[in-house]
Structure 1
């Protein structure tokens, strides 16, 4: 079976001594550890749910012969001592799965510099390209307005298309206005993402030479495209795309390619799924739609949304926060323990991999009342906002790709909700695929109607 090294792709050497301090799932780890248990549960998230139900909020489990620590409550996450906040936990995990080491093994100063460049690149591209984000959302809403009221609208297909167009043009420049280039990019993106976190985890990728070859070919083609874009835009006067900011820094060609890969991969999938889940949940509540509409009318009037107006849309922020929480949008993150730390009575040795079981924490009844109910009003409470911030979904520690996704989703909602009503499709059963980003298992449908 698969060893942890295949899942993590040289992620980190975890000290065996961790198991001496923490409650393990089993005192005798086999060569495969708990890998088969994870496979049987269907995903790492589902395994962590059962793990924490059985062993409490601090537990360890085995990838191969190596232990990993998982934290499953706000209380334990608040205690977790890890001074290395220079790396984003989601980015760390994604880079490890892609086999990227630069930015993960350098010194703290280099890592912080790279993080600032990355975040500056995303902020700059949103500022420089906000009219394009608005235009793409208006095009989609215009298309939906032309549908008859009874027509079923496929959220996943349409919103992945919106995310792909938005991310590729903002990240890589105007050449990706060409639909053929976007479709080619989408094909490779899907081939890579479908294997990340699943094919590695359950061992199926290694067992299938054809699948592995398909994945490696897609990754190689994607890397070649990103390197080519960087070379074409180097020295260009126009500085509007994400890649342009990276090119103005001291990053190497390889580092620029890797950061573009992370942003385009994660940016597309997080943006698409945040929008999918937001519209799905809105379709289930006419009350939430009406309340959001009232805020949009009060703040924006008849004007389109602008970047400076977004912070004033507080209820829209609550809707998106509750979407992330209810859908468990990113159910797993990870950090490398920078120095020896302690959670309750449990010592976590230096260089231990610590999993943040965010999907468990986001629906913990000790933190959230009626945790399975979609209720944006819960974020009127300061305690809810603080817990959400602690988990890295708001505030300074927010994943940059999620901040980007929030902006795109806010533009979409502000355009859509003022013109259309969303209706749930009766009889539709939503099943979730909880991998690195929670995705509907099947296509999600709604119907739309014009506002009177």
Structure 2
């Protein structure tokens, strides 16, 4: 049975943060077609860098060698799976570890578990997930308020004014995540801006510096990264200490404080949620509004659903499951944008895909960006078409890839909730228009991001 529980924010984290430091060397995955190492020390690392991103490298790899292919990172063989058929076959019964949490924490130098084995790891994972769920329930009016504030600002713009999606939606995500995760003290804009500065410094190096080795070669960049990480950790520890023992328990950190975790573990989990929650939420919202601006038909269909389900009322948490077309829009946004193009797991036991044997402790890449635009799975794969998710086969494939259903990671569930609130608020009041002549280029790294600022214009309905 497949475990795609966590859509991965990073092959880099997995390789550098875990494979090189945490796990013993694996045997070569013999018989699997693929590239020979181009460098004895680095394997195919330079090939990845030359392609511009791991996603682009995997696209080329699978075009050349088929849906099961191998390459080398350092002295270790890596197997990549590039179709739904092969992913469905892959067996890895290690359900006790969380690839996203384990690899991100290993890169940051944290311990992924509670130090007591598999049972404690599962307990901590449940605490983390329940903390995110609880904070959404306790703070849903705040999520709605922040979306309404942004839409109100946009309504005041002249119809011809260009609106920068990336800047505005990163701001929305940062305000939402920090207030829900860390409490009401982050209503202070100056505090949020300081937090955002350190967040960007950490995330940018996770995204590039560890892939090409450039971070280790630059003492100034390394110092800047370590300073930002230290400052972020100090802020998170300070928040945990300030909120300890207080009666009001509404934030994510409050759930962790009640769980028996150590102060250090609480800080680590807050780091993971704020780092990943901000970037995933922001980019899901950016891509969703961009694609909506390209299709008046999709906007109209979404508007009709919102009117039928909500009437004149604001969206509520219990109404979100009824917004099925909105869910289709977000699913298609994730698919078309290849929001998270890579996932991976360490092979827990020896496995087999087709006729290929995958030895124990081999790193197996799920080339989700390749699969999400595979014409054998998706008709017209490069077209934005939310209606495709009316088909059960599309929903099953999407669920298999870990983007929907019970196995969806908590950060993505959080992002879906915020995006749904934003769309339900915005689409009933404004129309979105694509900026003519704008060329969209994608950076498919850890999370797919527009290469440059993305602009739209808005106009009032009626």
Q: TM-score range, shorter-chain basis?
A: over 0.9
RMSD: 5.0
User: Structure 2 residue aligned with 1:162, among 153, 162, 172?
Assistant: 172
1:50 equivalent in alignment to 2:57:
no
The runs of 4+ residues in structure 1 deviating greater than 4 Å are 1-30
Secondary structure at 1:421's aligned position in 2? strand
8 Å Cα contact 1:23/1:58 also seen in 2: no
* Residues 220/329 of structure 1: CA separation in 2 closer, same or farther (3 Å cut): same
Work out the CA distance in 1 between the residues paired with 2:448 and 2:433: 22
In 2, distance between residues paired with 1:300 and 1:2? 37
Question: CA, structure 1 residues 319+8, in 2 after alignment: closer, same or farther (shift >3 Å)?
Answer: closer
Q: Can you list the C-alpha shifts for 1:22-69, whole angstroms capped at 9, x where unaligned?
A: 999999999x10010011001111111111111111122111111122
Q: Is the 8 A contact 2:10 2:343 kept in 1?
A: no
Q: Go from structure 1 to structure 2 and tell me whether the alpha carbon gap of 1:6 and 1:63 turns closer, same or farther (over 3 Å shift).
A: farther
Decide whether aligned partners of structure 1 residues 13 and 143 sit closer, same or farther in structure 2, where only a CA change above 3 A counts: closer
Q: Name the CA shift for 1:28/1:424 in 2 (closer, same or farther; >3 Å).
A: same
CA-to-aligned-CA distance 1:350-409 (integer Å, 9 cap, x gap): 222221111111111111111000000000000000000010000111011000000000
Pick closer, same or farther for the CA change 1:222–1:17 going to 2, 3 Å: closer
Change over 3 Å in CA distance of 1:131–1:55 after alignment to 2: same
Task: State the Cα deviation string for residues 140-163 of structure 1 (Å, max 9, x = none).
Answer: 000000000000000000000000
Distance 1:13 1:141 in 2: 36
> Is the alpha carbon distance of 1:103 and 1:10 closer, same or farther for their aligned partners in structure 2, counting shifts above 3 Å?
farther
CA contact 1:10–1:99 (8 Å) conserved in 2: no
Unaligned runs of 5+ in 1: none
Query: Following the alignment from structure 1 to structure 2, what is the Cα–Cα distance between the partners of residues 213 and 20?
Result: 22
Q: Which shows bigger deviation, 235-244 or 376-385?
A: 235-244
Q: How far does residue 77 in structure 1 lie from its aligned partner after superposition? A: 1.1
Q: CA deviation at 1:334?
A: 1.5
Q: How far did residue 101 of structure 1 move?
A: 2.9
Change (3 A) 1:67 1:420: same
Provide the rounded CA distance (Å) in 2 between the counterparts of 1:131 and 1:142: 16
Q: Equivalent residue of 2:111, what SS?
A: coil
For residues 323 and 268 of structure 2, the distance between their equivalents in structure 1, rounded to whole angstroms, comes to 34
Question: Is 1:39 the counterpart of 2:49 in the alignment?
Answer: yes
The alpha-carbon deviation at position 3 of structure 1 amounts to 28
Q: Residues 74-116 of structure 1: CA distance to partner in whole angstroms, max 9, x if unpaired?
A: 1111111111223333333322332323329752211211111
Q: Which moved more, 1:172-181 or 1:50-59?
A: 50-59
Indicate conservation of the 8 Å contact 2:320/2:420, yes or no: yes
- More displaced 10-residue stretch of structure 1: 95-104 or 110-119: 95-104
> 1:141 corresponds to which residue?
151
Aligned length: 451
Moved more, 424-433 or 194-203: 194-203
CA distance in 2, matches of 1:238, 1:277: 36
* 2:139 aligned counterpart, secondary structure: helix
Deviation at 1:256, TM superposition (A): 1.2
Q: Structure 1 CA distance, aligned partners of 2:353 and 2:29?
A: 23
Deviation of 1:197 (Å): 3.1
CA shift, 1:71, in A, is 1.2
Q: Please, which runs of 5 or more residues in structure 2 have no aligned partner? A: 31-41
Kept in 2, the 8 Å contact 1:424–1:446? The answer is yes
Judged with a 3 Å threshold, the aligned counterparts in structure 2 of structure 1 residues 2 and 130 are, in CA distance, closer, same or farther, namely closer
Q: Deviations over 1:226-266 (max 9, x none)?
A: 11111111111111000111111122222111111110000
**SS of residue paired to 1:194:** helix
- Deviations 1:250-293 (Å, cap 9, x if unpaired)? 22222111111110000000000000000000000000000000
In 2, are the aligned partners of 1:23 and 1:59 still within 8 Å (CA)?
A: no
CA contact (8 A) 1:419 1:450 kept: yes
For the structure 1 residues 209 and 199, does the alpha-carbon distance in structure 2 shift closer, same or farther, using more than 3 Å as the test? same
CA pair 250-351 structure 1, distance change in 2 beyond 3 A = farther
Alignment of 1:319-398 (within 5 A): 319-398=329-408
- 8 Å Cα contact 1:154/1:445 also seen in 2: yes
Q: Distance in 2 between matches of 1:225 and 1:203?
A: 28
Q: CA deviation at 1:349?
A: 2.1
Residue of structure 1 in register with 2:9 after alignment: 9
**Cα separation, 1, equivalents of 2:13 and 2:443:** 29
- CA 1:90/1:372 → structure 2, altered by over 3 Å: closer, same or farther? farther
Q: Go from structure 1 to structure 2 and tell me whether the alpha carbon gap of 1:316 and 1:428 turns closer, same or farther (over 3 Å shift).
A: same
Note if contact 1:100-1:258 (Cα within 8 Å) is conserved in structure 2.
Answer: yes
Residues 285-342 of structure 1: CA distance to partner in whole angstroms, max 9, x if unpaired? 0000000000000000000000000000000000000000000001111212222222
Query: Which of 174, 179, 183 in structure 2 is aligned with 1:173?
Result: 183
SS of the residue 1:69 aligns to: strand
CA contact (8 A) 1:68 1:354 kept: yes
d(CA) in 1 for partners of 2:11, 2:21: 22
Q: 1:297 to 1:307 in 2, by over 3 A?
A: same
**TM-score between both structures, scaled by the size of structure 2:** 0.91
Question: Relative to 1, partners in 2 of residues 1:20 and 1:277: Cα closer, same or farther, differing over 3 Å?
Answer: closer
Distance in 1 between residues matched to 2:460 and 2:255, nearest whole Å:
41
